Structure 1
Amino acid sequence: MQFMSSWATDDKKALLHFSEPTLETFCQYVQASDTDCEAGGLLLGSVHGAHMLIQQATVPTAWDKRFRHLFERMPFGHEAIALSRWMASQGTVRYLGEWHSHPEDHPHPSSLDRLEWGRLSAKRQDKRPMLAVIVGRKALYVELVQSSGRGSVLTSVE
Protein backbone atom coordinates (compact mmCIF):
# COMPACT_ATOMS: atom_id res chain seq x y z
CA MET A 1 0.00 0.00 0.00
CA GLN A 2 1.43 3.37 -1.01
CA PHE A 3 -0.53 6.54 -0.29
CA MET A 4 0.38 9.80 -2.01
CA SER A 5 2.28 12.33 0.10
CA SER A 6 1.42 15.63 -1.67
CA TRP A 7 -2.09 17.05 -1.90
CA ALA A 8 -3.70 20.33 -3.01
CA THR A 9 -7.02 22.12 -3.28
CA ASP A 10 -8.39 22.41 -6.83
CA ASP A 11 -7.19 26.02 -7.08
CA LYS A 12 -3.74 24.97 -5.74
CA LYS A 13 -3.95 27.74 -3.11
CA ALA A 14 -3.53 25.26 -0.27
CA LEU A 15 -0.85 22.57 -0.45
CA LEU A 16 -0.37 19.72 1.99
CA HIS A 17 2.45 17.25 2.47
CA PHE A 18 2.33 14.09 4.61
CA SER A 19 5.69 13.01 6.08
CA GLU A 20 6.86 9.41 5.57
CA PRO A 21 6.16 8.50 9.25
CA THR A 22 2.60 9.87 8.88
CA LEU A 23 1.98 7.75 5.78
CA GLU A 24 3.48 4.71 7.55
CA THR A 25 1.01 5.23 10.42
CA PHE A 26 -1.87 5.37 7.93
CA CYS A 27 -0.69 2.14 6.26
CA GLN A 28 -0.37 0.41 9.64
CA TYR A 29 -4.10 0.98 10.33
CA VAL A 30 -5.68 0.17 6.95
CA GLN A 31 -8.71 -2.05 7.60
CA ALA A 32 -7.53 -4.81 5.28
CA SER A 33 -9.41 -7.72 6.85
CA ASP A 34 -13.11 -8.08 7.64
CA THR A 35 -12.38 -8.03 11.38
CA ASP A 36 -10.16 -4.92 11.56
CA CYS A 37 -11.60 -2.10 13.65
CA GLU A 38 -11.47 1.58 12.75
CA ALA A 39 -8.47 3.50 14.06
CA GLY A 40 -7.63 7.17 14.30
CA GLY A 41 -5.80 9.99 15.96
CA LEU A 42 -4.57 13.55 15.67
CA LEU A 43 -2.60 15.14 12.84
CA LEU A 44 0.32 17.25 14.07
CA GLY A 45 2.48 19.48 11.95
CA SER A 46 3.51 22.95 10.91
CA VAL A 47 1.77 25.72 9.00
CA HIS A 48 3.47 27.71 6.24
CA GLY A 49 1.01 30.36 5.06
CA ALA A 50 -1.87 28.45 3.44
CA HIS A 51 0.27 25.30 3.30
CA MET A 52 0.75 22.50 5.83
CA LEU A 53 3.38 19.88 6.57
CA ILE A 54 1.91 16.94 8.50
CA GLN A 55 4.77 15.55 10.56
CA GLN A 56 2.96 13.04 12.76
CA ALA A 57 -0.28 11.11 13.10
CA THR A 58 -0.96 9.89 16.64
CA VAL A 59 -2.01 6.25 16.93
CA PRO A 60 -5.00 4.80 18.80
CA THR A 61 -4.61 4.60 22.58
CA ALA A 62 -5.94 2.03 25.02
CA TRP A 63 -8.71 4.52 25.97
CA ASP A 64 -10.03 5.01 22.42
CA LYS A 65 -13.19 3.15 21.40
CA ARG A 66 -12.56 1.05 18.27
CA PHE A 67 -15.28 -0.85 16.37
CA ARG A 68 -15.66 -2.07 12.80
CA HIS A 69 -17.56 1.06 11.66
CA LEU A 70 -16.80 3.53 14.45
CA PHE A 71 -13.80 5.17 16.04
CA GLU A 72 -14.17 7.45 19.05
CA ARG A 73 -11.02 9.26 20.08
CA MET A 74 -10.70 9.87 23.79
CA PRO A 75 -8.63 12.91 24.81
CA PHE A 76 -6.18 11.00 27.04
CA GLY A 77 -2.88 10.24 25.35
CA HIS A 78 -3.45 12.16 22.11
CA GLU A 79 -3.61 15.57 23.79
CA ALA A 80 -0.50 14.83 25.88
CA ILE A 81 1.45 13.98 22.71
CA ALA A 82 0.16 17.11 20.95
CA LEU A 83 1.10 19.31 23.90
CA SER A 84 4.58 17.81 24.24
CA ARG A 85 5.27 18.24 20.49
CA TRP A 86 4.01 21.84 20.68
CA MET A 87 6.22 22.61 23.69
CA ALA A 88 9.32 20.87 22.26
CA SER A 89 8.95 22.74 18.94
CA GLN A 90 8.31 26.09 20.68
CA GLY A 91 4.87 26.25 19.10
CA THR A 92 5.75 25.37 15.51
CA VAL A 93 4.34 21.80 15.59
CA ARG A 94 0.67 21.95 16.44
CA TYR A 95 -2.70 20.26 16.11
CA LEU A 96 -3.88 20.51 12.50
CA GLY A 97 -6.68 17.97 12.41
CA GLU A 98 -7.84 14.40 12.79
CA TRP A 99 -7.62 11.12 10.91
CA HIS A 100 -9.47 7.83 11.08
CA SER A 101 -9.90 4.75 8.95
CA HIS A 102 -12.91 3.35 7.08
CA PRO A 103 -13.37 -0.22 5.81
CA GLU A 104 -13.78 1.07 2.22
CA ASP A 105 -11.40 1.08 -0.74
CA HIS A 106 -12.12 4.74 -1.57
CA PRO A 107 -13.50 6.29 1.64
CA HIS A 108 -16.07 9.05 1.98
CA PRO A 109 -17.21 10.85 5.13
CA SER A 110 -20.36 9.70 6.89
CA SER A 111 -22.92 12.17 8.24
CA LEU A 112 -21.44 11.49 11.71
CA ASP A 113 -17.96 12.38 10.38
CA ARG A 114 -19.32 15.65 8.97
CA LEU A 115 -21.02 16.58 12.26
CA GLU A 116 -17.86 15.85 14.25
CA TRP A 117 -15.60 17.74 11.81
CA GLY A 118 -17.87 20.79 11.94
CA ARG A 119 -17.87 20.70 15.75
CA LEU A 120 -14.07 20.33 15.97
CA SER A 121 -13.44 23.00 13.33
CA ALA A 122 -15.72 25.50 15.10
CA LYS A 123 -13.73 24.98 18.35
CA ARG A 124 -10.38 25.94 16.75
CA GLN A 125 -8.95 28.98 18.45
CA ASP A 126 -6.74 29.95 15.48
CA LYS A 127 -9.80 29.94 13.16
CA ARG A 128 -7.86 27.91 10.56
CA PRO A 129 -9.68 25.10 8.75
CA MET A 130 -9.30 21.68 10.33
CA LEU A 131 -7.66 18.92 8.31
CA ALA A 132 -9.78 15.77 8.13
CA VAL A 133 -8.33 12.55 6.67
CA ILE A 134 -10.02 9.20 6.16
CA VAL A 135 -7.73 6.25 5.49
CA GLY A 136 -9.29 3.73 3.11
CA ARG A 137 -7.98 0.42 1.86
CA LYS A 138 -6.74 1.89 -1.44
CA ALA A 139 -6.94 5.67 -1.08
CA LEU A 140 -7.09 8.61 1.31
CA TYR A 141 -9.90 11.15 1.60
CA VAL A 142 -8.44 14.56 2.51
CA GLU A 143 -10.51 17.67 3.31
CA LEU A 144 -9.95 21.09 4.88
CA VAL A 145 -13.08 21.80 6.96
CA GLN A 146 -14.04 25.42 7.73
CA SER A 147 -15.81 26.33 10.99
CA SER A 148 -19.05 26.54 8.95
CA GLY A 149 -18.69 22.78 8.36
CA ARG A 150 -18.12 23.31 4.64
CA GLY A 151 -14.85 22.02 3.30
CA SER A 152 -12.44 21.89 0.41
CA VAL A 153 -11.56 18.40 -0.78
CA LEU A 154 -7.90 17.97 -1.68
CA THR A 155 -6.57 15.73 -4.45
CA SER A 156 -3.14 14.13 -4.75
CA VAL A 157 -0.70 16.04 -6.94
CA GLU A 158 1.89 13.38 -7.77
Structure 2
Amino acid sequence: MQFMSSWRADDKRILLHFSESTLDTFCQHVQACDTDCEAGGILLGSVHGAHMLIEQATAPTAWDRRFRYLFERMPFGHAAIALSQWTASQGTVRYLGEWHTHPQDHPHPSGLDRAEWNRLSAKRRDKRPMLAVIVGRNSLYVELVSISGCSLAFTAVE
Protein backbone atom coordinates (compact mmCIF):
# COMPACT_ATOMS: atom_id res chain seq x y z
CA MET A 1 0.00 0.00 0.00
CA GLN A 2 1.51 3.31 -1.06
CA PHE A 3 -0.51 6.52 -0.84
CA MET A 4 0.72 9.68 -2.53
CA SER A 5 2.16 12.31 -0.18
CA SER A 6 1.65 15.47 -2.30
CA TRP A 7 -1.74 16.79 -3.39
CA ARG A 8 -3.05 19.88 -5.16
CA ALA A 9 -6.44 21.51 -5.20
CA ASP A 10 -8.37 21.30 -8.45
CA ASP A 11 -7.86 25.07 -8.82
CA LYS A 12 -4.07 24.43 -8.49
CA ARG A 13 -3.72 27.20 -5.85
CA ILE A 14 -3.44 25.06 -2.71
CA LEU A 15 -0.92 22.30 -2.05
CA LEU A 16 -0.93 19.68 0.70
CA HIS A 17 1.82 17.37 1.84
CA PHE A 18 1.24 14.35 4.10
CA SER A 19 4.23 13.38 6.26
CA GLU A 20 5.49 9.78 6.21
CA SER A 21 4.11 9.22 9.73
CA THR A 22 0.67 10.45 8.62
CA LEU A 23 0.67 8.07 5.65
CA ASP A 24 1.87 5.26 7.93
CA THR A 25 -1.11 5.86 10.25
CA PHE A 26 -3.46 5.72 7.25
CA CYS A 27 -1.87 2.46 6.01
CA GLN A 28 -2.12 0.83 9.45
CA HIS A 29 -5.90 1.32 9.45
CA VAL A 30 -6.91 0.41 5.88
CA GLN A 31 -9.99 -1.84 5.93
CA ALA A 32 -8.33 -4.68 4.05
CA CYS A 33 -10.50 -7.52 5.42
CA ASP A 34 -14.28 -7.90 5.36
CA THR A 35 -14.35 -7.78 9.16
CA ASP A 36 -12.22 -4.62 9.63
CA CYS A 37 -14.02 -1.69 11.26
CA GLU A 38 -13.70 1.92 10.16
CA ALA A 39 -10.98 3.93 11.87
CA GLY A 40 -10.21 7.62 12.05
CA GLY A 41 -8.83 10.56 13.92
CA ILE A 42 -7.79 14.16 13.51
CA LEU A 43 -5.16 15.74 11.27
CA LEU A 44 -2.55 18.04 12.82
CA GLY A 45 -0.03 20.17 11.00
CA SER A 46 1.16 23.59 9.97
CA VAL A 47 -0.15 26.20 7.56
CA HIS A 48 2.18 27.98 5.14
CA GLY A 49 0.19 30.64 3.30
CA ALA A 50 -2.34 28.71 1.21
CA HIS A 51 -0.43 25.46 1.69
CA MET A 52 -0.55 22.83 4.45
CA LEU A 53 1.86 20.28 5.86
CA ILE A 54 -0.03 17.46 7.57
CA GLU A 55 2.43 16.27 10.21
CA GLN A 56 0.30 13.84 12.22
CA ALA A 57 -2.87 11.79 12.00
CA THR A 58 -4.10 10.61 15.39
CA ALA A 59 -4.99 6.92 15.66
CA PRO A 60 -8.36 5.70 16.92
CA THR A 61 -8.68 5.68 20.72
CA ALA A 62 -10.39 3.21 23.04
CA TRP A 63 -13.27 5.70 23.40
CA ASP A 64 -14.01 5.99 19.67
CA ARG A 65 -16.95 4.02 18.25
CA ARG A 66 -15.86 1.73 15.40
CA PHE A 67 -18.13 -0.32 13.17
CA ARG A 68 -17.84 -1.77 9.67
CA TYR A 69 -19.52 1.22 8.02
CA LEU A 70 -19.30 3.89 10.72
CA PHE A 71 -16.63 5.67 12.73
CA GLU A 72 -17.54 8.09 15.48
CA ARG A 73 -14.61 10.02 16.90
CA MET A 74 -14.89 10.89 20.57
CA PRO A 75 -13.02 14.01 21.68
CA PHE A 76 -11.10 12.67 24.70
CA GLY A 77 -7.76 11.37 23.43
CA HIS A 78 -7.67 13.36 20.19
CA ALA A 79 -8.24 16.72 21.89
CA ALA A 80 -5.43 16.06 24.38
CA ILE A 81 -2.98 15.23 21.57
CA ALA A 82 -4.01 18.35 19.62
CA LEU A 83 -3.55 20.60 22.68
CA SER A 84 -0.18 19.00 23.47
CA GLN A 85 1.07 19.53 19.89
CA TRP A 86 -0.25 23.12 19.83
CA THR A 87 1.52 23.93 23.10
CA ALA A 88 4.80 22.17 22.24
CA SER A 89 4.99 23.91 18.86
CA GLN A 90 4.06 27.32 20.31
CA GLY A 91 0.97 27.41 18.13
CA THR A 92 2.43 26.36 14.79
CA VAL A 93 1.02 22.80 14.80
CA ARG A 94 -2.75 23.03 14.74
CA TYR A 95 -5.92 21.09 14.06
CA LEU A 96 -6.37 20.91 10.28
CA GLY A 97 -9.19 18.43 9.94
CA GLU A 98 -10.43 14.85 10.16
CA TRP A 99 -9.68 11.49 8.57
CA HIS A 100 -11.45 8.15 8.53
CA THR A 101 -11.49 4.94 6.50
CA HIS A 102 -14.02 3.41 4.14
CA PRO A 103 -14.11 -0.23 3.03
CA GLN A 104 -13.80 0.81 -0.63
CA ASP A 105 -10.90 0.63 -3.07
CA HIS A 106 -11.43 4.25 -4.14
CA PRO A 107 -13.45 6.00 -1.41
CA HIS A 108 -15.99 8.75 -1.79
CA PRO A 109 -17.91 10.65 0.91
CA SER A 110 -21.38 9.63 2.03
CA GLY A 111 -24.16 12.09 2.81
CA LEU A 112 -23.38 11.54 6.49
CA ASP A 113 -19.70 12.38 5.87
CA ARG A 114 -20.62 15.64 4.10
CA ALA A 115 -23.08 16.65 6.85
CA GLU A 116 -20.44 16.01 9.53
CA TRP A 117 -17.74 17.91 7.61
CA ASN A 118 -20.06 20.90 7.20
CA ARG A 119 -20.90 20.81 10.91
CA LEU A 120 -17.24 20.60 11.96
CA SER A 121 -16.17 23.31 9.51
CA ALA A 122 -18.87 25.70 10.77
CA LYS A 123 -17.63 25.19 14.36
CA ARG A 124 -14.01 26.20 13.65
CA ARG A 125 -12.95 29.13 15.80
CA ASP A 126 -10.18 30.16 13.38
CA LYS A 127 -12.66 30.17 10.44
CA ARG A 128 -10.18 28.17 8.29
CA PRO A 129 -11.49 25.46 5.96
CA MET A 130 -11.40 21.94 7.37
CA LEU A 131 -9.40 19.21 5.67
CA ALA A 132 -11.36 15.98 5.18
CA VAL A 133 -9.61 12.75 4.20
CA ILE A 134 -11.12 9.33 3.53
CA VAL A 135 -8.68 6.42 3.41
CA GLY A 136 -9.67 3.65 1.03
CA ARG A 137 -7.94 0.38 0.24
CA ASN A 138 -6.13 1.75 -2.83
CA SER A 139 -6.44 5.53 -2.70
CA LEU A 140 -7.32 8.58 -0.63
CA TYR A 141 -10.17 11.05 -1.05
CA VAL A 142 -9.04 14.56 -0.03
CA GLU A 143 -11.26 17.65 0.23
CA LEU A 144 -11.16 21.06 1.89
CA VAL A 145 -14.52 22.19 3.33
CA SER A 146 -15.07 25.90 3.99
CA ILE A 147 -17.16 27.41 6.77
CA SER A 148 -19.87 28.12 4.14
CA GLY A 149 -20.03 24.43 3.23
CA CYS A 150 -18.33 24.90 -0.16
CA SER A 151 -15.73 22.27 -0.90
CA LEU A 152 -12.58 21.98 -2.96
CA ALA A 153 -11.38 18.53 -4.10
CA PHE A 154 -7.71 17.56 -4.28
CA THR A 155 -5.76 15.41 -6.73
CA ALA A 156 -2.56 13.47 -6.04
CA VAL A 157 0.58 14.93 -7.57
CA GLU A 158 2.87 12.34 -9.14
* Percent sequence identity over aligned pairs: 80
- d(CA) in 2 for partners of 1:82 and 1:110? 26
1: CA distance, partners of 2:87 / 2:137: 34
Q: Aligned partners of 2:107 and 2:150: how far apart in 1? A: 18
Counterpart-to-counterpart distance in 2, 1:42 and 1:56 = 8
* Cα distance in 2, alignment partners of residues 11 and 107 from structure 1: 21
**Partner residue in 1 for 2:111:** 111
- 2:98: which partner in 1? 98
TM-score (ref. length: structure 2)? 0.99
Following TM superposition, where does structure 1 have runs of at least 4 consecutive aligned residues deviating by more than 4 angstroms? Answer: none
Task: Write the deviation string for residues 108-154 of structure 1: whole angstroms up to 9, x where unpaired.
Answer: 00000000000000011111110000000000000000112220000
Structure 1 CA distance for aligned equivalents of residues 3 and 118 of structure 2: 26
Q: How many matched pairs? A: 158
SS at match of 2:75: coil
- Provide the residue aligned with 2:50 in structure 1: 50
- 2:24 match: secondary structure: helix
Within 5 Å, which residues of 2 pair with 1:1-158? 1-158=1-158
* Residue type at the aligned position of 2:41: G
CA distance in 1: counterparts of 2:16 and 2:34, whole angstroms: 31
Q: How much does 1:11 deviate?
A: 2.0
Q: Which runs of 5+ in 1 are unaligned?
A: none
For structure 2, the 5+ residue unaligned runs are none
Residues of 2 paired with 1:117 and 1:91: CA distance? 23
| Whole-Å separation in 1 of the counterparts to 2:98 and 2:60 | 12
